Amino acid sequence: MALRLGILGSGKGSNCRAILERIRDGSLDAEARIVVSDFGDAPILEIAREFGVPHAHVAPGNFRTILEPAAEQELVRTLQRADVELVVLAGFMRVLKAPMLQAFPQRIINIHPSLLPKFPGLAAWKQALAAGEKVTGCTVHYVDAGIDSGMILGQREVPIMPNDTPETLHARIQIAERELYPEVIGCLAV
């Protein structure tokens, strides 16, 4: 039976698209039950429409980095109504709190643009460049109450080239993300 996914995103949706393409071509045994964004005009919602996946907007409230408690409760209800087994954060730029973590324990995953535990938080590729690293990459991990601190499920290395800019490095990390994320989800679907 296909793993039932709820995909959350705030932006362009490139990881969402990679997951939905793998589902469509049969290489990922999963079903996207819903795509949810905290921005009503986010391109990820257009991707959901393109693939025929139900989608929703949850108004985040007045905070920039978290959902207001009522909004997070609405998100939980939305995902539960869609009968989601695994919550996939695909560029969702809000820190999830107790309502989500309690409703979906060890069933929320995230992809982060570094080889955790190095460089948690925002703009990790810039942190890696500033630190003079030779290799960085991306990590899929369970979401817990910390910032990018949950159990690691998979990683992909990306070399840092001598002439890399933050933009060129980030673009290569995003390519690795689009390969790694569906692979890890596939392992969880078994």
Catalytic machinery residues: 112
Could you tell me which residues come within 8 angstroms of residue 156 by beta carbon, excluding any fewer than 6 positions away?
A: 137, 138, 176, 177, 179, 180
Are 116 and 141 within 8 A, CB to CB? yes
> Which of the 8 DSSP states describes residue 138?
E
- The most distant pair of C-alpha atoms in the chain lies apart, rounded to whole Å, by 49
Per DSSP, helices labelled H in the chain are 14-24, 43-50, 69-81, 98-103, 124-130, 166-188
For 29-68, where are the alpha helices, taking DSSP H only?
A: 43-50
